[in-house]
Structure 1
Amino acid sequence: MQNQFDPRTTTGGFDPAVSVGVPRAARDAGLRSYMLSVYNYMASGVALTGIVSLLFAPYAREVLINANGTGLSGLGWLITFSPLAFVFAMSFGINRMSTATLQLMFFAFAAVMGLSMSTIFIVYTGVSIAQTFFAVTAAFLGLSLYGYTTKKDLSGFGTFLIMGVIGLLVAMVINMFLRSPAMYYAISAIGVLLFAGLTAYDTQKIKSMYAYVAGTDMMGKTAIMGALNLYLDFINMFQFLLSFMGDRR
């Protein structure tokens, strides 16, 4: 999503962690502060989504589901696709937007995602939703820690993972017409694996960006966009895993 700010797409092989003339201790402290900002944004976004989803859940059926109870209403479709509009607006407007505007867009996106995801409380029990959330949280922390600490360059996996996500979206559209239970579970299993891999990859990518944005006006913006990437990894992994762990009502 943020390839234009990904150092791995433009560098010639030198270590992105090296900043000439800056003491290592200062670099490390700056990097920790930067990553903490990313994780704070990401965690706040997930928390906001959860709160909005819980509060809106009692009204989700009458607002988002059509009168026949067989699919989404017109407003339901609008709310479902609105988060995508926010993602595109943030990604393509990052150079024109101020940090404050981008921050507002991120939290608006998280709130709309909460409205969209409120339907899970119609389909699954609260206990199974909570169990899946904590399982994904533990997995996310482990995968992100790996991406942050590993010395292995994960950039080679990026193209493969992104192509996998595109293929997954195509398969999901096809299965909207086929309605195959086997294909549904296969998509869910592949989705969990793809976004698990993207969690580690995105974490390393965000870490590598720091050397190129430190001390510039892009630092706050890339922190927000990094948080958006990790947020999407977490939410997608949660939704796909819920297909397996969730107990239907």
Structure 2
Amino acid sequence: MNQPAQSWGRFGSTTVSAQQRNRVLRNTYWLLALSMLPTVLGAWVGVATGITASLGGMTGLVVFLAGAFGFMYVIHKTKDSALGVPLLLAFTFFMGLMLSRLLAMVLGMQNGTSLVMTAFAGTAGVFVVMSSLSTVIKRDLEGLGKWLFMGVLVLIVGMVINIFVGSPIWMAALSTMAIGLFSALLLVDLKRIVDGGETNYIMATMGIYLSLFNIFQSLLILLGLTGGDE
């Protein structure tokens, strides 16, 4: 998700660096917006067909992780080719499909539509705040990114444990932890683009998308656990 920062020497003069950073940021935002379309389509297909209804517990987690990491691997390998963008869009369709089981559960609640809209608004709010912070923070955040990645590994272990425990309280705690972790990772990824450390807009888009996806999903879980059917 997070690529190592590159040195300023890769960009030449300050003017060229600024132009390249702006181009990467602009292309990233355009591709991020485009990636929402297959995500929504995948979620709609999943909810409408119930194709992911049986993907619960360990099976669902294995399918999700295998598919997600498989896509991330091939996207990384094709990031500089014409296949990069189509593969990224296919990845976002897959992620929408995987989200559909949770969406169907929440939408089945009396106030489900309101919860989904609240989760969407919360995710958008986090994005706006982190985008603003990325332009004013002067400190290099690469070191923080490495610690956050370790936190994500701990989060995955916690998710596996909770499959067997099945505790709503533990799930709420994991979701809260995920919101904090991926909000911080979003800031790190955005700061890397602003600083010129990421020059590939496909990889930049994937990193930001993953953070936003996990924030939205975690907010949806948390809202479903605490505010459902009110």
The TM-score with structure 1 as length reference comes to 0.78
Partner of 1:232: 210
Q: Would the aligned equivalents of 1:65 and 1:72 in 2 still touch at CA under 8 Å? A: no
Aligned equivalent of 1:89, options 58, 74, 93? 74
One-letter code of the match for 2:29? Y
Partner of 2:221: 243
Radius of gyration: which is bigger?
1
Aligned counterparts of 2:119 and 2:208: Cα–Cα separation in 1:
17
Aligned counterparts of 1:84 and 1:18: Cα–Cα separation in 2:
29
- Displacement after TM superposition at 1:39 (Å): 1.3
Larger displacement relative to structure 2 (189-198 or 44-53): 44-53
Check if 1:197 corresponds to 2:184: yes
Cα distance 1:248–1:122, how it changes in 2: closer, same or farther (>3 A)? farther
- Displacement after TM superposition at 1:36 (Å): 0.8
Aligned counterparts of 2:159 and 2:59: Cα–Cα separation in 1:
21
Gaps of 5+ in 2: 107-111
- Displacement after TM superposition at 1:58 (Å): 1.6
Matches within 5 A, 1:145-160: 145-160=132-147
- Displacement after TM superposition at 1:239 (Å): 0.7
Aligned counterparts of 1:106 and 1:204: Cα–Cα separation in 2:
21
One-letter code of the match for 1:189? T
- Displacement after TM superposition at 1:80 (Å): 7.0
Partner of 2:120: 133
Q: Would the aligned equivalents of 1:148 and 1:200 in 2 still touch at CA under 8 Å? A: no
- Displacement after TM superposition at 1:127 (Å): 2.1
Aligned counterparts of 1:40 and 1:127: Cα–Cα separation in 2:
27
- Displacement after TM superposition at 1:164 (Å): 0.6
**What is the CA deviation profile of residues 21-71 of structure 1, one whole-angstrom value per residue up to 9, with x for unaligned ones?**
x353x54333222201011112211232023312441212xx2224xxx94
Aligned counterparts of 2:34 and 2:216: Cα–Cα separation in 1:
16
Q: Secondary structure at the match of 1:139?
A: helix
Cα distance 1:161–1:131, how it changes in 2: closer, same or farther (>3 A)? same
Cα distance 1:172–1:72, how it changes in 2: closer, same or farther (>3 A)? closer
Cα distance 1:17–1:40, how it changes in 2: closer, same or farther (>3 A)? farther
- Displacement after TM superposition at 1:85 (Å): 1.3
Check if 1:54 corresponds to 2:44: yes
Partner of 2:83: 101
Partner of 2:109: none
How many residues align structurally? 222
Larger displacement relative to structure 2 (186-195 or 176-185): 176-185
Gaps of 5+ in 1: 214-218
Larger displacement relative to structure 2 (146-155 or 222-231): 146-155
Aligned counterparts of 2:144 and 2:56: Cα–Cα separation in 1:
37
Matches within 5 A, 1:37-52: 37-52=27-42
